[in-house]
Structure 1
Amino acid sequence: MTSFGKILAGICSIFFVLSGVTAITLFNIERKAFSAETYKLAFDNQNLYERMPAVLAVALSTSGSGDALLGILATEGNIASFLPPQELKAVTDDVLDSTFAYLNGETDSATASLLSLKSYLAGEGGTRMVTQLLSEQPNCTIEQITQITLGLLSGGNLLLCNPPEELMGLVTPFIESQLQAMMNALPNEITIISGARSNTPADPRIRLDRVRAVMKLTLVIPLFLLPAIVVFAVRSIKELLKWWGLPILFTGGFSLIVALLGSPVVEFVINRMMKAQTSDFIPPVLLAVMSEAVGEITKQILKPVGIEGVVLFVGGLGMLITATVITKKEKPHV
């Protein structure tokens, strides 16, 4: 019975190591991959904020405003060229916060505030942006100058050409009024992820929540195996230290190896999860930018895996050393 018990305890120890390394990795993936702060740090480290004009251009083009001037301004190139980095970062951070609030069940939809962007475009920044854009266009023809002059009197649309210097004094107030009208028509926020399916059987987060729940529950398996080892093989404190110390040490060691060498596997898991679980409700252009951050996100995930691996390795080693000391103290009494 004792030999059979040790065999079962050995099997439990092997499964403890396998499940422990898996649980530590999946737990940290779940904890880090669904945090807006993780992506903000990744965007910052990889300069991915520069990729967000494409996301804003798509969002603004579907905002419901048919203003011609907005159509001119809201292109990826123009947003990237004229929008100050701090404004772009603020809007991007708001998009990330809202997206992950939705994914984590804190809200029923994901939106992005346009208030800071509207404030910038309605002020001197927007006027300067349009003026520079016009200066880069071909010179206005006589017909276009006539149309601009009539437009100034009737409140018509702004033509995309470079007006003569003497006309700019009249065009600038017109640009300001056009921008103000456009900003008034533009909504204060745009929808990134619709809430139409939220809290219904078709809610796309239901499947994602199940996957995340399984990732969290993997921690239960190694915690269940430790007392099983005690039942099958442990009859003293010394045996407890040996039977727990060795698998804990190996779990820590393999976790450390995963932290150092496991980037390709973790990147594959995150990419797979993104495509399989979120591609049907996160806008493709945003998902593409988020996917570019996977390498940096993997580093943030594996850092705590490495720390936890070191802690377990040291803890397991400490148990084995303590067991050895106890054995040496017991020898004179034999």
Structure 2
Amino acid sequence: MAELNDRAREVFRQIVDSYLSTGAPVGSRTLSKLGALGLSPASIRNTMQDLEELGLLAAPHTSAGRLPTQLGLRMFVDGMMQASEPSEDERALIDGGMSGGAAIEDALARTTAVLSGLSQCAGLVLVAKTEMLIRQINFVPLSPGRAMAILVGVDGSVENRLVILPEGLPPTALEAAANYINARLAGLTLAAAADRLSAEVAADRAALDVMTAGAVATGLAAWSSDGAARPVLIVRGQANLVESSVDLDRVRLLLDDLEDKEELVRLLELARGADATKIFIGAESQLFSLSGSSVIAAPYRGPGGRVVGVVGVIGPTRLNYARVIPMVDYTARTLSRLVA
């Protein structure tokens, strides 16, 4: 920014504004006809050449106008953009997506769809998987050394897991293990139940023999490989990417990228530790280096200010940053109030 004089800044700003609106290269004659600069096409061309040498503009073809580079977009977003707060109608739509008294997962999905529609991008939300609270566990013997553990959650959900039992475990130990869990550990998460079991065994308060305690531990551990904290990714509004794009080839690449949920989760995880909205432009993210896409994401917080998820959008680098960044920020702050 320090290397740009007032003329260069204004030429650069108008080129970026035009590109974000149309997606098309901007030529010196076009800028000259706008009249706001008060410069001849030749003067504008010279300034554009200077900006290109600084790496802020590029020409897609020899005879074409100029487009902002990734570096240029980053400089514009960080140092020149004038953000506009969401309108009253936009805030009402975002707030409405979170109302209704339904499960938080449904509210998150609706909010993501609203954000997608307002931004004309794909909406994203990353939320920590909710760990089930135990109502009861039952064991069904299958064969020597194997049983089916059936976990019923407080919310009524049911999950099954195949467990390998300690060698020589008598059938009565399975029943005793289930009775212990249901009497002593109901209402806890699996992790909390395992901690209580360890504490009670250590203090000799579990009233379990060694083999039954092993069966209890095996039953609780059957779900640990799922990774209770593994985040869940919700994506809404991919169709908006097609409808709003002038470059369908890039959109096809982006839609392919969105299929790689694991990499997308890794990218959004980078925003979890951010104090404010995080912006990834083009090849700043390896995942979107080919599709040339941008991600705007912000963390939202639960009780005690702990980050519990990330909300954002993904779209072409040619998106309305000044409008979308505050929109994502508002959504994150509103979600924080909802889940706190």
Whether these two folds match at TM > 0.5 is no
Q: Under a length normalisation based on structure 1, what TM-score does the superposition of the two structures give?
A: 0.23
Q: Going by fraction, where is strand more abundant, 1 or 2?
A: 2
Larger radius of gyration: 1
Q: Under a length normalisation based on structure 2, what TM-score does the superposition of the two structures give?
A: 0.23
Q: Going by fraction, where is helix more abundant, 1 or 2?
A: 1
Tell me which of the two structures has the higher relative contact order, counting C-alpha pairs closer than 8 angstroms and 6 or more residues apart.
1
